[in-house]
Structure 1
Amino acid sequence: MSGPRVRLVVTGDDFGYCPRRDRGMVEAFVAGALSEVSLLVNGAAASSAAQLARRHRIPAGLHANLSEGRPVSLSAGSGASLLGPSGCFLGKTGFREALAAGQVVLPEVREELRAQLSRFRDLVGREPTHVDGHQHVHVLPGVRQVFAEVLREYGVRYTRVPVERGLHRCEWLEPQLQTFAVALEKDALAAREEFQELGLRCPDAFIGLSTMGKDMSVSRIEAAIDQAVESIQIPEDALKGGRAITLELMAHPGYPSVSPVGGCGEGPDDFSQSWERLHELQTLLDPTLHNFYRQRGIKLCAFEDL
Structure 2
Amino acid sequence: MPLPRLLMVVTGDDFGYCPRRNQGIVDCFLAGGISNVSLLVNASAAKEAADLAGRHKIPIGLHANLSEGTPVYQHLQQISTLVNPQGFFHGKMGFRQALEKGQLSMNQVELELRAQVRRFIELTGHLPHHMDGHQHVHVLPDVREVFAQVLSDVRIPFTRVPIEPGLHNCPWVPAHLHTFYMEVEKDALDSIPVFKHYGIRWPDVYLGLSTMGQNMSVSSLQRALKQALGTRTSSTISRRAPDLHQPVITAELMVHPGYPSHPDEGGCGEGPDDFSQSTEREHELNMLRSPSVLELYCQEGVQLCGFRDL
Same fold (TM over 0.5): yes
Give the letter aligned to residue 91 of structure 1: G
1:297 to 298, 301, 305: 301
Q: Please give the root-mean-square deviation of Cα atoms over the aligned residues, in Å.
A: 1.5
1:265 counterpart SS class: coil
- Which residue matches 2:248? 244
Residue 280, structure 1, aligned to residue 284, structure 2: yes
2:43 counterpart SS class: coil
2:104 counterpart SS class: coil
1:75 counterpart SS class: helix
Residue 140, structure 1, aligned to residue 140, structure 2: yes
Residue 82, structure 1, aligned to residue 86, structure 2: no
In 2: Cα distance, 1:3 partner to 1:57 partner: 24
Cα distance, 1:241 vs. partner? 4.9
Unaligned runs of 5+ in 2: none
- Which residue matches 1:131? 131
Q: Is residue 3–residue 241 contact of structure 2 (8 Å, CA) maintained in 1?
A: no
Q: Is residue 132–residue 160 contact of structure 2 (8 Å, CA) maintained in 1?
A: yes
1:240 counterpart SS class: coil
Cα distance, 1:244 vs. partner? 2.2
- Which residue matches 1:97? 97
In 1: Cα distance, 2:202 partner to 2:238 partner: 21
Q: Is residue 4–residue 239 contact of structure 1 (8 Å, CA) maintained in 2?
A: no
Pick which of 241-250 and 148-157 moved more. 241-250
In 2: Cα distance, 1:172 partner to 1:3 partner: 34
Give every structure 1 segment of 4 or more consecutive aligned residues whose post-TM-superposition deviation is greater than 4 Å: 234-238
In 2: Cα distance, 1:3 partner to 1:209 partner: 27
Cα deviation digits, residues 200-231 of structure 1 (max 9, x gap): 00000000110010111111011111112113
- Which residue matches 1:17? 17
Q: Is residue 68–residue 92 contact of structure 2 (8 Å, CA) maintained in 1?
A: yes
In 1: Cα distance, 2:294 partner to 2:193 partner: 34
- Which residue matches 1:152? 152
- Which residue matches 2:220? 220
Residue 267, structure 1, aligned to residue 271, structure 2: yes
Cα deviation digits, residues 128-165 of structure 1 (max 9, x gap): 01000000000000000000000111110000000001
% same residue:
54
Unaligned runs of 5+ in 1: none
Q: Is residue 3–residue 248 contact of structure 2 (8 Å, CA) maintained in 1?
A: no
Change (3 A) 1:116 1:236: closer
Change (3 A) 1:251 1:236: closer
- Which residue matches 2:46? 46
TM-score by length of 2: 0.95
Residue 253, structure 1, aligned to residue 254, structure 2: no
